[in-house]
Structure 1
């Protein structure tokens, strides 16, 4: 029954209603004094009733935004009292328009339809009431009947149309407000989705950086431990590689955490030029990547494609370090409209159960983000990653991955 209304709007409604009452109350007083009412005598009672009705109508307008249901009930009570008292239409009746507008704009569904029905019923009653007031103005019974019907039809149409317009204006405002709320909700949902996508991207980058760096560090640490006694120089080189890899990983992690903390845009991202450094890290970890590029890139590939190629190769080589034995074959085929990425390595049978975790999921997501496809599966004694990434086309949602 009572809505939550900002104070400024409630004050505005009250001030406007008080102003309307002060303007129309003298007119109501005068109409009460000259009314044709046969029910209210003496004259001062008719005048007092007119002022009370005017106050009730403007009071209903004052609370129409706060409680449309109560305002509609008060307005109906005032209008029925006006007709029972035999008082003519008054200037304060315009407050009914504000009440009907409020029922359609801010009322519940029941109040909304109650306001619409009130507009129709109110127009019919007003027309009949005004028509009945014409009785006695002519001497002919037939003429009086015709006059009543004509006046009732005319005034009922005018009043009913005016009431319906005010209710319709409220209904239109209701739709405008609902449209704004829908747009705001959509914008909030889009912002939330964007933030979630950013968190997923950062988590994916974090996984790529940490997993690859730790795989290199572990491989180098194992090699340094075995070489420490027989060849200290190799152990020193392995420790240097560990330090270099850890520093690079720490720098990347700090950049990702900064993005996550401050919601900044993307920092510098790996490109094709960084692939040689990636291959060197893998080579230093004891796995020889046999790289074939045929055909060569026809031009400068888009930045998104370069990043996707780098991250897919990074994750595939990390898996080869963890689960593979021997070398790893890398093939890049740059076509005019796509690039094919293939990484294959012999797998350690005792570790094949670990394939298909977050790393493979991350590679598939990388391919899907640029509209491509990716397959990662066991093929005999080898584990093969095949990706095809389109060049020069926009990312497609729902791209197939297997």
Structure 2
């Protein structure tokens, strides 16, 4: 229930801001009657009447509706309004509390530098009020400062707590992603080990089939019965090899299901969808006339871009952007994935296998890949793959 209330308040921010400001507006409206009943004062201040009082209250309270999106602007507007009120020698009114509300918003949502500046402006306001309307004494200044500092510290505390909770949420999400990734890596490693063992079994069976076939070829004229037995052994060994091959394919399936996946593997045609669906804002740029690539080589390019974007999301830090570039022309296809993240400052995962996988895929086609921080900041993955149609030219 509480979570739904928070979600609803997040979707209706302006309405919630209005509800928070409503008590101050009602209090100022209630105080309009005493203000009008007191009439002009004899202390030399300017009496603006109830209409002027209401106009000034509106000028001080309405900007608070935008303090969530523009806290600095709202604080500046209210500070200037109160300064104009001081210059016009208008007595303090309940709506002046809006400056403290704006100060709280600045301390909550802005950097420490702006929070300190806003606190200093509020302190100057306390001093001006004392000089203009009261005999300045240290005790009065101290009392006013206590109120300002209390509001300021409350905003700083709320800001620190909010950042701390956001960091906890980010760590929890990162830990969950890393846990799932480690589980997938462990499962993949185990499947790979089993696949190697089954590969050895299949290779042995095929070798036996070759030997039996050679023997049958030699004995088919001299000893038909021996040749017939050899063909029978070939058939039996072939069925066993086929069964082991099915087990091998089943082990290599990621989902471990018995259903065969006939979906085509992704290629260059799916790169734009991959870039749009990446967890980081990314753009795809293609240069040169696209050439025809084998499906396996297209899959290698797709996986390289996928791994590079995953690394940018994992290690680039907040606000990272990525650029995927494909350059056709000549005898090779150049794939470059760059980001503007933390680069050399990004933490390195000791058990990461992304770069190894990239090198294996590119090495299958006689290409090369490099990855590392950029001199101007960020990270770059650069892969060069030969184009089969032009390599022999």
* TM-score normalized with structure 1 length: 0.51
**Larger-Rg structure:** 1
Query: After the TM superposition, which residues 305-384 of structure 1 pair with which residues of structure 2 at under 5 Å, given as runs?
Result: none
Question: Runs of 4+ in structure 1 displaced over 6 angstroms?
Answer: none
Query: After the TM superposition, which residues 40-119 of structure 1 pair with which residues of structure 2 at under 5 Å, given as runs?
Result: 40-41=46-47, 43-44=48-49, 47-107=50-110, 109=111, 112-119=112-119
Name the structure 2 match of 1:226: 214
Query: After the TM superposition, which residues 3-402 of structure 1 pair with which residues of structure 2 at under 5 Å, given as runs?
Result: 6-27=10-31, 30-31=34-35, 34=38, 36=41, 38=44, 40-41=46-47, 43-44=48-49, 47-107=50-110, 109=111, 112-134=112-134, 147-187=135-175, 189-191=177-179, 193-194=181-182, 197-198=185-186, 200-201=188-189, 204-205=192-193, 207-209=195-197, 211-229=199-217, 230=219, 231=226, 232-257=228-253, 259=255
Is the Cα–Cα contact under 8 Å of residues 223 and 235 in structure 1 kept in the other structure? no
* Structure 2 segments unaligned to the other structure (5+ residues): 1-8, 220-225, 259-350, 352-393
Over 3 Å counting, the alpha-carbon distance change for 1:55 and 1:113 in structure 2 is farther
Over 3 Å counting, the alpha-carbon distance change for 1:261 and 1:29 in structure 2 is farther
Over 3 Å counting, the alpha-carbon distance change for 1:54 and 1:217 in structure 2 is farther
Over 3 Å counting, the alpha-carbon distance change for 1:39 and 1:97 in structure 2 is closer
- Tell me, in whole angstroms, the C-alpha distance in 2 between the residues paired with 1:50 and 1:159: 24
Deviations 1:354-390 (A, max 9, x none): xxxxxxxxxxxxxx9xxxxxxxxxxxxxxxxxxxxxx
Over 3 Å counting, the alpha-carbon distance change for 1:202 and 1:253 in structure 2 is farther
Is the Cα–Cα contact under 8 Å of residues 58 and 92 in structure 1 kept in the other structure? yes
Is the Cα–Cα contact under 8 Å of residues 123 and 160 in structure 1 kept in the other structure? yes
Is the Cα–Cα contact under 8 Å of residues 213 and 230 in structure 2 kept in the other structure? no
- Tell me, in whole angstroms, the C-alpha distance in 2 between the residues paired with 1:28 and 1:166: 30
- Tell me, in whole angstroms, the C-alpha distance in 1 between the residues paired with 2:44 and 2:159: 39
Which structure has more RCO (C-alpha within 8 Å, separation ≥ 6)? 1
- Tell me, in whole angstroms, the C-alpha distance in 2 between the residues paired with 1:261 and 1:12: 49
Over 3 Å counting, the alpha-carbon distance change for 1:261 and 1:38 in structure 2 is farther
- Tell me, in whole angstroms, the C-alpha distance in 1 between the residues paired with 2:158 and 2:119: 12
- Tell me, in whole angstroms, the C-alpha distance in 2 between the residues paired with 1:201 and 1:64: 53
Is the Cα–Cα contact under 8 Å of residues 130 and 155 in structure 1 kept in the other structure? no
Over 3 Å counting, the alpha-carbon distance change for 1:32 and 1:79 in structure 2 is farther
Q: 2:136 aligns to what SS in structure 1?
A: helix
Deviation at 1:197, TM superposition (A): 1.4
Is the Cα–Cα contact under 8 Å of residues 64 and 102 in structure 2 kept in the other structure? yes
Deviations 1:146-181 (A, max 9, x none): x42245423333233233223323332343344235
Deviations 1:40-76 (A, max 9, x none): 35x42xx334323322333232211122222222221
Q: What is the number of equivalent residue pairs in this alignment?
A: 241
Over 3 Å counting, the alpha-carbon distance change for 1:201 and 1:96 in structure 2 is farther
Deviations 1:274-313 (A, max 9, x none): xxxxxxxxxxxxxxxxxxxxxxxxxxxxxxxxxxxxxxxx
- Tell me, in whole angstroms, the C-alpha distance in 2 between the residues paired with 1:100 and 1:220: 84
Deviation at 1:210, TM superposition (A): 5.3
- Tell me, in whole angstroms, the C-alpha distance in 2 between the residues paired with 1:260 and 1:83: 76
Over 3 Å counting, the alpha-carbon distance change for 1:131 and 1:88 in structure 2 is same
Deviations 1:212-247 (A, max 9, x none): 243123212212311223233133224312312321
Deviation at 1:252, TM superposition (A): 4.4
